[in-house]
Structure 1
Amino acid sequence: MTLVSSKSIFNKSIKTKASLGVAVLVTSLSFQAQATTFTLSNWVPPTHFVTTDILNVWAEQVQTATEGRVKIRMLPKPVGTPAQHWELARKGIVDITWGNFTYEPDRFKSIWFAEMPFNGEDVEASSVALWDTYETYLAGNPTYAGVKMLGVGSLGPGVINHGSKAIVSSEDIANQKIRMGGPIQKRLIEELGAVPIAAPATKAFELLAGQVLDGSLHTLESVVNFRLTDQLSHHTLIPGGFYDGTFFLVMNEGKWKRLSAADQATVMSVSGTVFSRLWGQTFQREIDQAYAQLREEGHQFSQPTEELMSKIGSVRQQMIQDWAAEHDSYGIEQPLEMLDYYRQRYTDLSK
C-alpha cells in the first residue's frame, strides 16, 4: 500500500488549476484572434435614420448572430462621395459600403425596372421583391461582380412637390423648373413638359431658396429630413409613386471569401431578405411619419387628374420598351420576364 502525502496532493491540485487557467486563457485568446472586424463607409450623418435604425441595427445583428466573431466598424467619416461607394467596396478600399444605384445609372441599367413610375407604395414589399429579383436574375450578372451583395432596398413612392401650387394636370406642370435626379426622373419631367434641373437632394434647399426651382422631386420623408417643409408646401401623390429609387449594401468579394462558410451563412441569416425587410420597414415608417407631420402643418395634398395619370402611364410604357430593347447592353436575356417576376413578388408581398 502506497501512501501519498497531503503535500503531494496539494501540489498536484495547484498544477491542475494552473493548467486549466492556461487552457481557458488560450481559448479566450484564440477566440479573440478569430474575430474579424470589417470597416463600413457611411455617407449620411450619424444621426440620420439610415445610420441609427438600419446600418447600426444590422451591424449589431451581425455581431450577435456570429457570437462576436464578425464585427462591423463604421468609419467616422465617408471615404469618398456617395457615387463612389460601389467602387470603394469593389476595390477593397473599405470593406463594406452602401449607396444608391441611381448615382451610376448607366452602370446599373439592369435595375431600372424598379425605379419606374407606379412601382408601388409598400416600401417593405418593394425592397424584399427587389432582393428576390436580384437573387433570381442579377446575382450572376457581370455588372455586380467583385462584391458580395448583402442587401438591397427601395426609396419609396416619389412625389411631385411644389412651392406655390398644386400640380394635378399636364397644364399645371408645363414649364415648371423641377429638381430631379437620374435619367428616369429626367425623362418623366421632360415628357410632361416641365424643365428638369439636375441636382442632388442636398442642394434642393439652396436652389428653392434662391428661386432657381419651382418644385422638386422627393419622397415625403425627404421633404422633412432635408428640411424643405417651408419651401415645398404642395404635394401631388401619384398612385403607386411617380418614381422610385434603389439602394445596395455590399462587401468586397475578397474580404467576404475570407470568412468561413459557417460565418458567411450566419451573416446572411441577418442580411439579404432580413436586411431588405428592415430597410423597407424603416423607410415606410419615416414616410408615414412625414405624411402625418406635413398634414398637421397644413400642407396641401393633391391627386393627379386622369389626364395626367394617363400621360405618366404612356411615358412609363415607352420607357420600359426602350429599356427592354437595350437588354444586350446590360446582359439580361429576358428583361420583361424579370420585370414581371418583380411585379408578381411585389403583389404577393404587399397582400
Structure 2
Amino acid sequence: MDMKKIILIGLISILTLSFAVSASADTLVLRYNQWFPSQHWSQKDGLHKYFDEIETVTEGRVRVQPSAKPIVPPTKNYQAVANGIVDLAWGPHGYTPGAFPLSEMVEFPFSVHDAGASSVAYQRTFDKFFKPKGMHDDVVTLAVHVTSGGNLHMKNKPIRKIEDFQNAKIRVQTSVVSEAIKSIGAIPISGSLNELREFLSRGIVDGTSLSDELLTGFKVDSYINYVTQIPGGLYSNSAFVVLNKKKWNQISPTDQEAIMKISGEKLAYRMGSLWHKNDLIARKLLQDKLGENYKVADESLITGLESAFFKGRLDWLEKAEAMGVDITSANVYYEEQTNLLMQAQ
C-alpha cells in the first residue's frame, strides 16, 4: 500500500473517531434510580418505554440510563433528585410521611376504581391546584399518577369486620392508612415493598394492605391465604416521576418541549392504565387460587372504615387549607375529571 493511501485511511479514521466523540458529547445522559425490579411491568412496559421515547423525540440528544442497582433507597428518591445525587426518579409520595401533604388527597379510601382515569384526573388537579402552591418546587415534574386501590391481604386470619383489626400487625406504606387502622386497634408497621417478603416470612406482620398486582408482582402471594377486597381501595398510592432542575436546564428548549409532549397526562395515563390492567389480571389469579377466601368487603366493614378515616380527612383538610389550597374545589375537580374520563372510555 502506497503512502498516499495510508495517509488517506488515517485521515478517515481520525474523522470517524472525531465524529463519534462529538456525537457522544452531544448526548445528555440522565441517571435513573432503578430500585424497582427492572422486569416488573411498571418499569419494562411503563417507564423504560417512556425513556426510549425521550431518546426518540430528542433525536438521541437526551438518553435515560437506569442504574444497575439502587443508588439510593426508595424513601430517598425525591430528595436525591432535588440534590442531584440522581437525575431522575419514580416512587410513592407516601414513603416520606408528611413531606407531601397535598398528595394525601388521592390516598384516602374508596376513590380509585380505574387507575388510568384517576391518574389523568390527578395530573390535572396537580397542575391546576397543587403545583401553583409550590408542590415539587425544587424539581421538574414529569408526571404524577395513582396506583390501583389496596386491599387487605392476610396470612392466617382474615379481616372481615372492624373487630378483626384488633392487635393485627399490618404492613402499611402511607401515614393516612397507618393512623386510621391504629384508631381501630391494629398495629401498623411501615416498610417498603422490598422489605415485605421478610416481614411476611418472619411473621413480623400478619398481613399487608396492598394492591393485588403488587402482591403477585413481588411474588409474596404464597404467604397470603385471605383477601378482603375494598371497592375503590383501602388506599391508593400517589406517585411521582421527577427530574433534577440543573439537568433539565442543560436540555435545549426544543427538546424540553418534545419531552413534555410525551409526559404529563400521557405519562400519567400510561402508568395508571398499566396498573389497572395488571391489577385486574392479578385479582382473577387470586380469586381462582383462594376461592371463597377472596371476599369483597361488606357494607358494615366499609362503614366502619369510613369512620376510621374520618379524623384523618379532617386533619388533612386543615393542612391543605393552611397551604392556601382551595381544597374543596380541588376535591370536586378531581372527582369530576375522574368521572368524565371514565365515562369517555
TM-score by length of 1: 0.86
Residue 18 of structure 1 aligns with which residue? none
Q: CA deviation at 1:101?
A: 0.4
**In 2, are the aligned partners of 1:148 and 1:252 still within 8 Å (CA)?**
yes
* CA-CA distance at 1:306 after TM superposition: 1.7
- CA distance in 2 between counterparts of 1:121 and 1:289 reads 15
Alignment of 1:342 with 2:334, yes or no, is yes
**Corresponding residue for residue 11 of structure 2:** none
C-alpha change, 1:71 and 1:210, in structure 2 (3 Å) is closer
Residue number among 253, 259, 265 corresponding to 1:267 in the alignment: 259
Select the structure of larger CA radius of gyration.
1
* 1:322 is aligned to 2:344: no
Matched with 2:104 is 112
1:277 to 259, 264, 269: 269
Q: Mean Cα displacement is larger for which, 208-217 or 244-253?
A: 208-217
Structure 1 residue ranges without an equivalent (≥5): 1-22
In 2, Cα distance between equivalents of 1:28 and 1:63: 17
Question: Could you tell me which amino acid in structure 1 is paired with residue 180 of structure 2?
Answer: L
Alignment partners' CA distance in 2, 1:47 and 1:53: 9
Counterpart in 1 of 2:187?
Answer: 195
* Amino acid in the other structure paired with 1:77: K
Q: Secondary structure at the match of 2:208?
A: strand
Residue deviations 1:47-105 (CA, integer Å, cap 9, x gap): 22222111210011111122222211122222111111111111122211112100112
* Distance in 1 (alpha carbons) for counterparts of 2:290 and 2:95: 33
The correspondence for 1:313, drawn from 298, 303, 306, is: 306
Instruction: Report the counterpart of residue 298 of structure 1 in structure 2.
Output: 290
1:64 equivalenced with 2:38 (yes/no) = no
Give the aligned residue type for 2:284: A
Q: Equivalent residue for 1:185?
A: 177
Give, as a single letter, the amino acid of the residue that structure 1 aligns with 2:58: T
User: Is the Cα contact below 8 Å between 1:160 and 1:235 reproduced in 2?
Assistant: yes
SS at match of 1:140: helix
Q: Deviations over 1:30-52 (max 9, x none)?
A: 66653322221111122222221
Query: In terms of mean alpha carbon deviation, does 38-47 or 147-156 score higher?
Result: 38-47
Preserved contact between residue 181 and residue 308 of structure 2 (Cα < 8 Å): no
**What is the aligned partner in structure 2 of residue 210 from structure 1?**
202
1:174 equivalent in structure 2: 166
Structure 1 residue 173, shift from structure 2 partner = 2.8
For 1:174 and 1:86, how far apart are their aligned partners in 2? 35
1:49 is the counterpart of 2:37:
no
The alignment status of 1:131 with 2:123, answered yes or no, reads yes
Percent identity, please.
27
Alignment root-mean-square deviation, CA = 2.3
Structure 1 residue 220 and structure 2 residue 229: aligned? no
Moved more, 206-215 or 302-311: 206-215
CA contact (8 A) 2:162 2:305 kept: no
Q: CA deviation at 1:233?
A: 1.7
Conservation of the 8 A alpha-carbon contact between 1:166 and 1:302: no
**TM-score, with normalisation over the residues of structure 2?**
0.88
Q: Distance in 2 between matches of 1:141 and 1:27?
A: 46
Look up the match of 1:77.
69
What residue ranges of structure 2 are gaps of 5+ in the alignment? 1-14
- The one of 138, 142, 164 equivalent to 1:146 is 138
Distance in 2 of aligned mates of 1:342 and 1:148:
22
* Counterpart residue type for residue 100 of structure 2: F
Provide the residue aligned with 2:3 in structure 1: none
Q: Distance in 2 between matches of 1:318 and 1:187?
A: 9
Deviation at 1:206, TM superposition (A): 2.4
Contact 1:90–1:147 (CA under 8 A) maintained in structure 2? yes
For residues 24 and 189 of structure 2, what CA distance do their matches in structure 1 show?
A: 53
C-alpha separation in 2, matches of 1:263 and 1:24: 26
Distance in 1 (CA, whole Å) between partners of 2:51 and 2:76 is: 22
d(CA) in 2 for partners of 1:134, 1:340: 13
Look up the match of 2:7: none
Give the Cα separation in 2 of the matches to 1:72 and 1:204.
29
Give the match's secondary structure for 2:223.
coil
